[in-house]
Amino acid sequence: MNRKEENQMKTITVQKLVDTFKLEVLAGEERMDREITRPRTHRPGLEFVGYFDFFPMNRVQVLGRKEINYLLTLSVEERKLRIGNIVKYHPPCFIVTSGQQEFPYLELYCEEEGIPLLRTEETATEFIAKLDSYLVKALAPEISIHGVCVNVSGIGILLRGKSGIGKSETAHTLIRRGHRLVADDIVVLKKLSPTTLLGTHNETTREFLALRSIGLINVVRQYGRRAFQDETRIVLDIELVPWQENALNNELETVPQCTEYLGVQIPHIEIQLQPGRDVAGLIEAAANNWYLKQLGYSAVDEFMKRIEEEMGS
């Protein structure tokens, strides 16, 4: 299997956040190159009352109305002390939500320490949900592999196989049947959690499908916007392999096979190719079968139960 190495440490800059979320820069403009390495934000509540034992200083600090209103209840000297105690830990940046304007000394301290102070009009709850989701994906460990990624009836599938075996052609058939392309040739896999693997493209190949004898096609231009989506959760790993005459092709696998990517186990299926075989239809069947298993139904289990009932009668 052709894989690229996993990124050891992914980072994004504060400037990237500003550009992505259209944030207003209030202070620390000269330090927009500061790096963000942690995938979740933090609202400093306990820290403002002096408790720093578990302060995640490497995270983006978000200040909502609750935090700013609390600071405004303090005396001038106490406010300066509490703000100074947090700023000295040099988090990547501070973001004030709800378009708030009254935060005495915070802007001054951030300017002095070279820490970007940013502002959004969105509420803390809305903004944190969006930012956390973005950071988890942007900073997730990832690898790139050779293959095709498709979404079949809402189910993310990774198609693998040797070059020229027909992965892209199979994806094209699936697209014509109403399913969606995610990535062709190079698939980027991101680990969002110990059990969640996200498949996406590498931007360069976005919307493109390479078909032998035809060349590149843009699936959105040919088949419409519904023929493509940017990302999908990978739940099936399907490998296309040459037909083997002496292989047992209808075996009942009571123990599922898996492939591991970035430590995430993904159910694995091999589909042997032969002229006239409806490979796209088999992939649709595999996707539907996986979905039924999530609902608690197993055709193998039901079949074995029937055999046992016949033997017992």
What is each CA distance from 23 to 18, 19, 26, 98, 165, in whole angstroms? Answer: 5, 7, 9, 12, 47
Instruction: Return the pLDDT at 3.
Output: 53
Q: Which residue is associated with the tokens 């001038």? A: 76
The total of structural domains in the chain comes to: 2
pLDDT over 90, % of the chain: 76
Integer Cα distance of 241 and 29 in angstroms: 55
| Cα gap 118→97, rounded to integer Å | 9
* Digit-coded pLDDT (tens) for 171-205: 999 999 999 999 999 999 999 999 999 999 999 99
Whether residue 130 sits in one domain with residue 61: yes
Domain membership of residue 256 as a residue range = 142-304
Whether residue 4 lies inside any domain: the answer is no
CATH of the domain at 124: 3.40.1390.20
Task: Answer whether 3's CB lies under 8 Å from 145's CB.
Answer: yes
Examine the domain organization and report whether 40 and 68 are in the same domain: yes
Domain ends where: 138, 164, 188?
138
Of 71, 106, 138, at which residue does a domain stop? Answer: 138
Under the banding of pLDDT at 50, 70 and 90, the label for residue 249 is low
125, 156: one domain: no
How far, in Å, CA of 195 to CA of 204, rounded?
28
311 falls within a domain: no
Give yes or no: residues 127 and 168 share one domain: no
The answer to whether the predicted template modeling score (pTM) of the entire model surpasses 0.85 is: no
Pairwise CA distance, residues 156 & 152, whole Å: 6
CB 3 within 8 A of CB 143: yes
Residue type, 204: T
Read off the pLDDT of each residue in 211-235 and give the average, rounded to a whole number: 95
Active site residues: 146, 167, 185
Per the listing, tokens 């940046």 go with 93
233 burial type by CB count under 10 A (0-12 exposed, 13-18 middle, 19+ buried): middle
